[in-house]
Structure 1
Amino acid sequence: MKTFFISLMTVMILFSGSQLAGQDAAAISKKSMDVVDMGSIQMDLTIHILDNKGNDRIRKIRIITGTFDDVNKTLIRFIAPPEVKGTSLLIYDYEDKDDDMWIYMPALRKVRRIVSSEKGKSFMGSEFTNADMSRPNQSDFNYEILGTELYEGKMCWKIESAGISSDVRKASGYSKTISFIDQENYLCHKVEYYDLSGSLHRIQYISDFRKQKGSNYIACRMTMENIQNKRTSQMTVDHFETGMQFSENAFSPSILQQ
């Protein structure tokens, strides 16, 4: 009986510990997203899309963001080169349900909703995906602290996030991610993406963080390396303005064609 009691207590302690670790992992992940949340902002970025031979295609985009009734809204417009100018992506990022996404391509002269099965696909030919352009809903994922690791002189938590269902995993295009989150300031420096078969697919490197008022930062360089096809895409922030005031009409699907 004594042995059984000790074993039962051990199981209870381990179970409680695993629950706490899961809660801590989710809290760390949320803090990591919050620390780079700048609210209303306008940014101009350059995207370099390099194939496996080093050929470089350059795209320039403008992003504006705003929050209305707890819905984070993002409008992405391509401003150069001429062949993609006017192409636009609109994202409604909800806390408690799947995001809404719309795309407008001038050649088709039509606004089209992006369905869940397309969110894991390439964002305009780059190694980033449509899903990478929005903030994930935390309730769709399970989180776990895998340990700690020194990354470029910074001690980081290794946080695994995995979709809670096959539908979530299919929509995102990956089975899990492992994020390297700085223990000092919660900045995420690196993310490993694993495909639906569990193989390493892409690695994102995030750098050139610029501190703003309070404890928030803007990440000004994001590099996505595709391990499987040897292609790389890089987004670099050329200019940004925070504290912008946009009307909600600026984020209407009907605005995409203008």
Structure 2
Amino acid sequence: MKNSFILSFNKLFFGALLLLVSVNIIGAFSEEALFLQTTKVFFIPALLILFFMKYKTLSLPFILFFLFSFLGDVSLAFFENELFFKASSVFYFLSYMSLIGIALSKFRFFNIDKVVGTYLVVVFLINAYFLYTFYGILKAIVPDSFEVLLFGVKNLSLILLVFLAFGKYLANDTKLSILFLMVALCLVFSTILSYVSLYYVYSWSFVMLERIIYAIGIYLLLTYIMVENKSAITQNKPQDSYNSDNIFA
């Protein structure tokens, strides 16, 4: 009976993702500006409501990520206002920093093989160089220096997030590390598509893909939390003692 409930919950949770993606596709094809702008706002609340139907608690770093991401989504719903657009960049940056904090707490760089560690550092430096180059180009195009600064710090945080997620995956090839890496990549690709629509060419197809990838990233992050909670319960099952570290697990 319990297993059938878990199975039905997983189906319901995945069905919610499909519904959100479908609504986003309809909004993109309709090209209704207001509808297209507001669909993204419902991604996090809808999936979190389902999550809390089964899991009653959430750790503080994840709460901060979802809170800042939601505020960023709400700010982008008022895209015509330049102040809200800058606010969304700040909120997204803070959400990425929340995930970086989670990754750092579980990342042990010195435990990684030296060859793998060197490879990670080289990849990070290459990406940082490309970001610096693009930052210089954008600085020459966009007159607002603060907007360019937000672009730089937000994308640098994304590079660091992927670096940590990839390092965690190489050091420990588990379902959790794969899920976290996929979350980081989803955030990167959705951000890239957002910049393409903003600075290069606006297309409903790019907007649609950006929303779909973003929704998948939120879904995978909640799945990561579910798997982590399940693993923590399994590991602590034989123990009768009280462990304060699992209060927010």
**TM-score by structure 2 length?**
0.28
**TM-score by structure 1 length?**
0.27
Instruction: Flag the structure with higher helix content.
Output: 2
Instruction: Flag the structure with higher strand content.
Output: 1
